[in-house]
Amino acid sequence: MGRFSGGGKLVPKPDAKAIATGFIGGFVGILSLALLTNWSGYPLLMAPFGATCVILFTAAAAPFAQPRNVIGGHFISALVGLVALYFFGQGPIVMAFAVATAIAAMQFFRAVHPPAGANPLVILMAGSAGFDFLLLPVLLGSIILVGVAAVINNAKADAKWPLYWIGKDS
């Protein structure tokens, strides 16, 4: 049981600026998608985007928060979910296989974004998504969130976000 007791220190408490950035980023990001959905009539919101906002606006320096990971991770995982739905149907084994495959695919393409791991579940639980789901809400929605993050995360004078887009091998 000792392995499960932790023992490390709690992360430092964020300052007021960091809390405000998280609040404003989450608010503007989701509001942008909601208003654009209402204005255009095209769906741009999905539940995993809430978790994407947490990463984009509270851990902007993390690899998971870089545009390649946000956009690529959501796209890869949604594609896996759609392929699973159309080739294997729905069910617990398909859900588990789709999430596991999405994780492996994101790792393979070096575009891991934890909230995107929910995309196959969203698709399989709905059971009716078409391949247009890859464009709306997945691709356009994640691009919009990255755009909002670029503005919010670069609002500070010394900020530089993103750390990379495509990235280079060392």
Backbone φ and ψ for 73, nearest 5 degrees, come out as: -60, -45
Nearest to 39 by CA among 29, 47, 31, 50: 31
Q: Look up the domain containing 110 and give its range.
A: 16-153
Per-residue pLDDT in tens (0 to 9) along the chain, 170 residues: 778 888 889 989 999 999 999 999 999 999 999 999 999 999 999 999 999 999 999 999 999 999 999 999 999 999 999 999 999 999 999 999 999 999 999 999 999 999 999 999 999 999 999 999 999 999 999 999 999 999 999 998 889 999 998 877 75
Q: pTM for the full model?
A: 0.94
Spatial separation of the C-alpha atoms in residues 82 and 80, rounded to whole Å:
6
Residue with tokens 């859900």: 95
Q: Domain total for the chain?
A: 1
Spatial separation of the C-alpha atoms in residues 28 and 15, rounded to whole Å:
20
Query: Is 158 among the domain residues?
Result: no
Spatial separation of the C-alpha atoms in residues 105 and 90, rounded to whole Å:
20
Query: Is 166 among the domain residues?
Result: no
Query: Is 169 among the domain residues?
Result: no
Spatial separation of the C-alpha atoms in residues 30 and 27, rounded to whole Å:
6
